[in-house]
A and B are shown apart, each in its own frame.
Chain A
Amino acid sequence: MRGAAVVLLALGIGFAHAAPAPDLAAAKVAVAAADAAAGRARAAGDQWMPTLAALKAAHVALARGDAAAAVTAATHARHLALLSLRQAAEQKRLWRNEVPRQ
Chain B
Amino acid sequence: MRRWLLLLLALAAPVAAAAAPNPAADRAAFQGWFRHLFPQLPLAKYVDGPYNFSASERAQWQQIMELPPYGFAVDHGKALFDARFPDGAGYASCFPHGGIGIAQDYPQFDPKTGRVVTLPIAINRCRVAHGLPKLKLTTGDLADIDAYMVRTSRGHKIDVVVPDTKPALAAYEAGKEYFYSRRGQLNFSCASCHLQYPGHRVRGDTLAPALGITASFPIYRSKWGNMGTLVRRFIGCNKNIRSAPDKPDSLAYRDLEYFLTAMSNGLPIAGPGARP
Contact = CB atoms under 8 A, between A and B. Distances in A.
Contact present between A and B (CB < 8 A)? yes
Q: Which secondary structure dominates chain A's binding surface?
A: helix
B185 A95 contact: no
B25 to A, nearest CB: 8
Contact of B243 (A47, A96, A98, A101): A47
B189 A100 contact: no
Interface residues of B, number: 30
- Where chain B touches its partner, the secondary structure class is helix
Interface in A23-71: 42, 45-52
B28 interface: yes
Contacts of B28: 102
Given A48-B242, A49-B239, A96 B18 contact: yes
Contacts of B187: 87
Given A100-B32, A102-B29, A46 B192 contact: no
A50 B185 CA distance: 8
A95 B180 contact: yes
Given A87-B187, A100-B29, A102-B32, A47 B244 contact: yes
Contacts of B32: 100, 102
Nearest to A101: B29
Most B CB contacts (10 A, CB to CB) among A42, A48, A50, A80 go to A48
Interface residues of A, number: 22
A80 B243 CA distance: 12
Contacts of A95: 177, 180-182, 189
Contacts of A7: none
Nearest to A50: B185
A47 B252 CA distance: 13
9 contacts: A46-B184, A48-B244, A50-B185, A51-B244, A95-B177, A95-B182, A98-B196, A99-B191, A102-B28
Interface of A: 42, 45-52, 80, 84, 87-88, 91, 94-96, 98-102
